[in-house]
Amino acid sequence: MNYDVIIVGAGPGGIFASYELVKQNSNLKIAVFEAGHALDKRKCPIDGDKVKSCIKCKSCSIMSGFGGAGAFSDGKYNLTNDFGGTLYEYIGKKEAMDLMQYVDEINITHGGEGTKMYSTAGTSLKKVCMQNKLKLLDASVRHLGTDINYIVLENLYAELKDKVEFHFDTPIEHIEKTDTGYIVKTGDSSFACEKCIVSVGRSGSKWMESVCKELDIPTKSNRVDIGVRVELPAVIFSDLTDELYESKIVYRTEKFEDNVRTFCMNPYGSVVNENTNGIVTVNGHSFENPEMRTDNTNFALLVAKHFSEPFKDSNGYGESIARLSNMLGGGVIVQRFGDLVRGRRSNQKRLSENMVVPTLAATPGDLSLVLPKRILDGIVEMIYALDKIAPGTANDDTLLYGVEVKFYNMEVELDENLESKHKGLYIIGDGSGVTHSLSHASASGVYVARKITEA
């Protein structure tokens, strides 16, 4: 089969690339190959009853399938160049912001109308943070919520399915360069195309590495973010979350001068498992529908670890730490903040008496046996710093889930078109190492689609 464009991966990067290709040129023959299931077939078996923790499905429905890792995410589209990726370094700050705005408009017209856009512009909370040695980063955030995000994806699929060939449960194994373009291979089948867009996200990170090796595309990698997910009564953080929904706050620790930052804040949300290449870590999300909300807010506290020569395997380092928690807890570990600072493990009894009721069934344990001291000390310092702007954060009953790891895909060498050294082979989204968020990944998809149709 021959196509004009083949897209590997149907996460936000792949979806927005196909959307824009169709919009710019409806005559193009486009195929999308996705390792995971179609949207309506995606279901995580954890039901809190029969299946309480991750059973490591062959294709993780949280991470893979139409919608990618974003399908059951909180649907927070942060419109900013301050975090979420470095797309602006390739395409310029204005273009990056314009594209994120464009993606927002598409989301709104495909089911997201009525959702709220929050902004840090003009907020007095910035001063309050500053007075307490905390830095609030600038952003506007559209919160779709897991429920509306799903509806937007359903609508996008309905619009695209007759114009683009979707092949689900079809992991691409190899990409080969030919004289006229590329051949992608899956099982016994091969498909040819003139242009190929690779958008395989975090779940495709290992595969992406092998493709870069096979095609001799230079890469670099030296960062991993490690930390915990904090869960506390929503009311404690409500001053921040009511006004900003998500606040990205950075704290510089006194002891080591490391930066600790809040990440992925989910007011009235739930903590969830995340399975990356068989390793279970923690994440969170929340619903837009008030009836589906919990009484808790959760967010991650992360410390970035940058490594210098000769060490290259930053993801391997993060994986080893996550493996330790999986080894001790059979998955994710949960600990009361009061137990952590007293140097004792949490147990089922103390957890059942805890004021904050966990939204994820995790194993009570001791995070100090898992996280390196430097990282844990930074997290404890930040919790006390946050306690000053949101009193109650450092309560004994605050829950910490570990570990949360943000694996960064190695950065693939790309030019200003997000094109690799091989003409016609574009690498976008989180799989390229350039983006780490819904808005940046989606924007990168629109960008290459326009580059391809302009050419």
Ligand X SMILES: Cc1cc2nc3c(=O)[nH]c(=O)nc-3n(C[C@H](O)[C@H](O)[C@H](O)COP(=O)(O)OP(=O)(O)OC[C@H]3O[C@@H](n4cnc5c(N)ncnc54)[C@H](O)[C@@H]3O)c2cc1C
| Near ligand X by CB under 6 A: residue from 35, 148, 380, 452 | 35
Count of residues engaged in binding ligand X, rule: CB under 6 A: 46
Taking the complex as a whole, the smallest distance from the CB of residue 368 to ligand X amounts, in Å, to 26
The distance of closest approach from Cβ of residue 273 to ligand X in the complex, given in angstroms and rounded to an integer, is: 9
Residue 210 in tokens: 């092998």
From residue 317 to residue 356, the character string flagging contacts with ligand X as x (rule: CB under 6 A) and all else as - is ----------------------------------------
Q: Check residue 8 for interaction with ligand X (CB under 6 A).
A: yes
Under the binding rule (CB under 6 A), the answer on residue 199 touching ligand X is: yes
Closest contact distance (angstroms) between CB of 380 and ligand X is: 25
Cα–Cα distance, 319 to 5 (Å, whole number): 34
Residues 39 to 78: which contact ligand X by CB under 6 A? 62-65, 68-70, 73-76, 78
Least Å distance, CB 204 to ligand X, is 3
Q: Residue 227 and residue 371: Cα distance in Å, rounded?
A: 8
Q: Specify the 3-state DSSP secondary structure of 89.
A: helix
145 in contact with ligand X (CB under 6 A): no
For residues 351 and 340, the answer to whether their CB atoms sit within 8 Å is no
Q: How far is CA 44 from the centre of its chain?
A: 17
Contact letters for ligand X, residues 154-183 (x by CB under 6 A): -----------------xx-----------
Q: Which is nearer to ligand X, 380 or 400 (CB)?
A: 400
State both tokens at 343.
């140097």
User: How many residues does this entry show for the chain?
Assistant: 455
CA 222 to chain centre: 18
- Assess contact for 286 and 145: CB atoms under 8 A: yes
Q: How far is the CB of 389 from ligand X (least distance, A)?
A: 22
Binding of residue 365 to ligand X (CB under 6 A): no
Task: Between 185 and 373, name the residue whose CB sits nearer to ligand X.
Answer: 185
User: Count H helices, E strands: the chain?
Assistant: 12, 22
| Single residue of 7, 11, 367, 393 touching ligand X by CB under 6 A | 11
Residue 5 · residue 193 · CB < 8 Å: yes
CB 39 within 8 A of CB 68: no
* Beta-ladder partners of 261: 250, 302
Site track 267-296 with ligand X (rule: CB under 6 A), x = hit: -----x-x--------x-x-----------
Q: In sequence order, which ranges of 356-437 are alpha helices (DSSP H)?
A: 373-389
The answer to whether the beta carbons of residues 104 and 116 sit under 8 Å apart is: no
Question: b/e string for 252-273 if b means 16 or more Cβ within 10 A?
Answer: bbeeeebebbbbbbbbbbbbbb
Residues 417-436 that bind ligand X (CB under 6 A): 429-431, 436
Distance in Å, CB of 276 to ligand X, minimum? 8
**Residue 284 Cβ vs ligand X, minimum distance, rounded to whole Å:** 7
Q: Which stretch binds ligand X (CB under 6 A): 5-13, 312-320, 322-330, 379-387?
A: 5-13
Nearest approach in angstroms of CB 388 to ligand X is 26
Give 155-169 as a DSSP string. Answer: HHHHHHTTTSEEE-S
Nearer residue to ligand X within complex by CB, 52 or 255 = 52
| Under 8 Å between Cβ of 306 and 338 | no
In the complex, which residues of this chain contact ligand X (CB under 6 A)?
8-14, 33-36, 62-65, 68-70, 73-76, 78, 84, 171-172, 199-204, 207, 264, 272, 274, 283, 285, 429-431, 436-439, 441
